[in-house]
Chain A
Amino acid sequence: MKNKLLTLSILSFALFSCSNEDEVQVQQKNDEAAKAEIMNIISNATEKTTQEMEEEFFRDNNYVVVNPEKSNNIVNSIKANNTPIHGPYTTTISATPAGVLPNQKIIWKGYEYPAAAAYVADVNTHSVNILLPDGAFGFVNSMTNQGYNDYGAQTQGYSFSNVIINGKNYLNVRTYTMKIRWNMAGQAINANVPSYGFGAKSVSYSYITP
């Protein structure tokens, strides 16, 4: 009887030990799986740019981003989603430049004729002031026949800003073209650049009110 009891006790202990070991092994497997999953998430994660993080923040916080790259002031370029957007409306910028700065020296990048070098050019500003309601914030959706947004960088595009003129609120939209007149030797060039930027420009714009 004593021997049987001793044998039973040993068996029970052995069984208990085996059962506990399995639990430990399962726990270890779970931990390893979790670690593997975390490592998998980390290894598959892509680095986000500041702009992407900003956009994610605005989206998560119920904001709509209105062309942040077109504005100098990020605070002015975001509005809450529930703000009504008026538009889009359409206006036209005349093919005739609003202003010309004649005989300016430029470093031409040579994206089209003539070859890259320093030249003397007339810099044309094509712009329009669109009257907006007081306090409204306007932005441009699109423009046809875009010139340069920056005559120095000579990249296609346009720029806009909200300006107050004589107490009235305007959306100023502008783009630039150039007439390359002379090379530095004095030879006439007379090339209108960018070739895609001439003609009247149709501007689609909207505005939001507070």
Chain B
Amino acid sequence: MKKYFLYTVLLLCCNISVAQTVKLNFGRTISSVKSSHADLDILNKTINTTNVGIGVDLFEKENYYLSNEINFSMLGGKEKNIFLEAPYDDYSKKWGYLSLSSSLRYKINFDESKYLFIGAGPKINFIIDSNKFSQTLYEDTYVMKNYTFGVLTELGYVQRIFERYKVGIVGSYSYSITPNSKTEFNRLRINPIAINLTLGYSL
């Protein structure tokens, strides 16, 4: 864990040294657990959590730039079981994740101060919580993987409000290519949708 933390700090320092914009993100994340097994609904109802993050924009050109971000969010799901008694009749489970993403954003400029963008890139999620399914029906069956690789897709709008400041709204969908947890017969993935407000400062 220490190793990952050091890598993260190093990556952040490298990014800031070449950054053109630093930014702060905060918003809401909607997540649930997707099961590859068609008849096994595991924490399949959505939960809504807060996420926060920081990031930098690099290599900014007229029509594209690279956005690197670190976000913290709580991901998981909930389920309702009509045949079970409390606490398993209606409960949720979530895990803390730190996500590193690098997204190439293609800009559609309206004018010099505002633009729409679409972006895509790789994303790595590290679990920073206990990786157990404690207090669920799956405690003895599943364990969360320490990290997952995925793809991030984004759509957003950014507007410059002062000379150096800009604000934006960004919607994103992440797909985990590697499962968050698996057994021999089933794979569990968490593919969150997030809506963030972003405040940027041009260096």
* Chain A positions near chain B (C-beta within 8 angstroms): 101-107, 117-118, 120, 123, 151-152, 181-187
Contact A104 B40 (CB under 8 A): no
- Return the contact of B184 from the options A102, A107, A187 (Cβ within 8 A): A187
- Return the contact of B39 from the options A106, A117, A118, A120 (Cβ within 8 A): A120
Contacts of A183 in B (CB 8 A): 141
Contact B85 A186 (CB under 8 A): no
Contact A185 B81 (CB under 8 A): no
- CB proximity of B15 to chain A, nearest CB, Å: 41
Contacts of B140 in A (CB 8 A): 117
Question: Per-position contact with A for B39-58: 1 when CB-CB < 8 Å, else 0?
Answer: 11110000000000000000
Interface residues of chain A: helix, strand, loop or mixed (majority): strand
Contact B141 A185 (CB under 8 A): yes
- Return the contact of A106 from the options B37, B79, B84 (Cβ within 8 A): B84
Contact B37 A182 (CB under 8 A): yes
Contact B83 A118 (CB under 8 A): no
Interface residues of chain B: helix, strand, loop or mixed (majority): loop
A187–B41 Cα gap in the complex (Å)?
Answer: 14
A107–B87 Cα gap in the complex (Å)?
Answer: 12
Contacts of A152 in B (CB 8 A): 83-85
Contacts of A117 in B (CB 8 A): 140
> Knowing A105-B137, A118-B137 touch, does A186 contact B81 (C-beta < 8 A)?
no
B82 touches A (CB below 8 Å):
yes
Question: Per-position contact with A for B10-39: 1 when CB-CB < 8 Å, else 0?
Answer: 000000000000000000000000010101
Q: How many A-B residue pairs have CB under 8 A?
A: 56
Contacts of A106 in B (CB 8 A): 83-84
Contacts of A182 in B (CB 8 A): 37, 39-40
Contacts of B37 in A (CB 8 A): 182, 186
Question: Per-position contact with A for B128-140: 1 when CB-CB < 8 Å, else 0?
Answer: 0000000001101
- CB proximity of A132 to chain B, nearest CB, Å: 30
Residue of A106, A118, A183 ringed by the most chain B CB atoms within 10 A: A118
Contact B141 A184 (CB under 8 A): yes
Contacts of A184 in B (CB 8 A): 40, 42, 137-138, 141-142
- CB proximity of B105 to chain A, nearest CB, Å: 38
Top 7 closest pairs, chain A to chain B, by CB: A186-B185, A186-B186, A185-B183, A186-B37, A118-B137, A184-B141, A105-B81
Contact B82 A120 (CB under 8 A): no
A-B contact pairs, 17 of them (CB 8 A): A103-B40, A104-B81, A104-B82, A105-B79, A105-B83, A105-B137, A107-B88, A118-B88, A181-B39, A183-B141, A184-B138, A184-B142, A185-B183, A185-B185, A186-B37, A186-B183, A187-B185
> Knowing A185-B184, A185-B185, A187-B184 touch, does A107 contact B40 (C-beta < 8 A)?
no
Contacts of A187 in B (CB 8 A): 183-185
For the A-B complex with A120-B40, A186-B35 known, give 13 more contacts whose Cβ atoms are closer than 8 Å.
A101-B83, A103-B40, A104-B82, A105-B88, A107-B88, A120-B39, A181-B39, A184-B40, A184-B142, A186-B40, A186-B183, A186-B184, A187-B184
> Knowing A106-B84, A123-B83 touch, does A185 contact B39 (C-beta < 8 A)?
no
Contact A107 B84 (CB under 8 A): yes
Q: Smallest CB-CB separation from B186: which chain A residue? A: A186
A187–B40 Cα gap in the complex (Å)?
Answer: 10
Contacts of A186 in B (CB 8 A): 35, 37, 40, 183-186
Contacts of B83 in A (CB 8 A): 101, 104-106, 123, 151-152
A107–B57 Cα gap in the complex (Å)?
Answer: 51
Contacts of A151 in B (CB 8 A): 83
